[in-house]
Amino acid sequence: MLSKRQSKYFKSLQLKKYRQAEGKFLVEGAKGVEEVLKSDWEVEALLATSEYLKTLDKGLFRKKFDLFEVKENDLLQVGTFKSNSTGLAVVKMPEQSLNANWKEEMVLALDQINDPGNLGTIVRIADWYGIKQIVCSRDTTDVFSPKVINATMGSFTRVKVHYTDLRSFLSECERHVYGALLDGQSIYQTKLQHGVILMGSESHGISEELRPLVTHSIKIPGRGGAESLNVAVATAVVLDNFARNI
């Protein structure tokens, strides 16, 4: 059983200020837990029901972590899910700085993405298309929030998310910067090369201070009456075009 102190600690990680203070975050549900156990990320503790523990490959326990066999109600008390009969992991935040060879890869940059579901979905989409690194503005939502982590479906273990001053980053990156703008050139008519893909916020698009740093303005031509696309959907369309053309 969990002590009151342990329950309070685990539950506190739902909040950003405690995640940052402890350098830990929560991963909930079977898919996320199994992905993080298979990865090289450091797991501090695993809370799991007896039924779920029986389903896990014994090889996943090669890591050293505190194991708590708990009831479903314990998982609901410390986590964010309304239903969780499997498990919850407490994971150490890794260093999320860019890899040394980032200038040789496609990089996705995100400006003021505020919705956790959108950010998590974008991380998952990036993973699908082989994007290993995402650079976010500092006011983009926290990638380690439970809603984001859940929406990634485990892809957070394979995609590095780095927060920085986007203006400085784009000014100094010395690469093609493709910015998704409503007045851009059709992506279907643009010569696409390796570089940085910049996606803007759900409400306002790419911020005014970053637009002068865009070297290639692109858009997804629409054929119907919708005013705009969801940013995660737009990111998928843009990445698919890059994947097919370079």
Segment 103-112, tens digit of pLDDT: 889 999 999 9
pLDDT at 72: 96
Query: For residue range 44-54, what is the model confidence (pLDDT) as tens digits?
Result: 999 999 999 99
Band of residue 97 on the pLDDT scale cut at 50, 70, 90: confident
Q: How many residues does the chain have?
A: 246
Query: For residue range 8-51, what is the model confidence (pLDDT) as tens digits?
Result: 999 999 999 999 999 999 999 999 999 999 999 999 999 999 99
Distances (CA, A) of 155 to 5, 53, 198, 199, 216: 31, 22, 20, 19, 28
Q: Residue 198 and residue 35: Cα distance in Å, rounded?
A: 28
The per-residue pLDDT of the chain, averaged, comes to 96
pLDDT at 101: 84
3-class state of residue 230 by DSSP: coil
Q: Residue 57 and residue 135: Cα distance in Å, rounded?
A: 34
Band of residue 1 on the pLDDT scale cut at 50, 70, 90: confident
Band of residue 156 on the pLDDT scale cut at 50, 70, 90: very high
pLDDT at 5: 96
Q: Which residues contact 204 (CB under 8 A, 6 or more apart)?
A: 112
CA nearest 60: which of 41, 42, 34? 34
- The pLDDT of residue 158 is above 80: yes
Q: Residue 200: is it exposed, middle or buried by C-beta count within 10 angstroms (0-12/13-18/19+)?
A: buried
Q: Which residues contact 155 (CB under 8 A, 6 or more apart)?
A: 35, 123, 124, 126, 127, 128
pLDDT at 208: 97
Query: For residue range 180-231, what is the model confidence (pLDDT) as tens digits?
Result: 999 999 999 999 999 999 999 988 899 999 999 999 999 999 999 998 899 9
- The pLDDT of residue 99 is above 90: no
Q: Residue 112 and residue 107: Cα distance in Å, rounded?
A: 16
Distances (CA, A) of 78 to 12, 21, 22: 8, 18, 16
DSSP characters over 14-69: TSHHHHHHHTEEEEESHHHHHHHHHSSSPEEEEEE-HHHHHHS-GGGGGS--EEEE
Q: Residue 17: is it exposed, middle or buried by C-beta count within 10 angstroms (0-12/13-18/19+)?
A: exposed
- The pLDDT of residue 95 is above 90: no
Distances (CA, A) of 215 to 40, 85, 170, 176, 238: 37, 49, 10, 6, 16
Band of residue 6 on the pLDDT scale cut at 50, 70, 90: very high
Reported pTM: 0.95
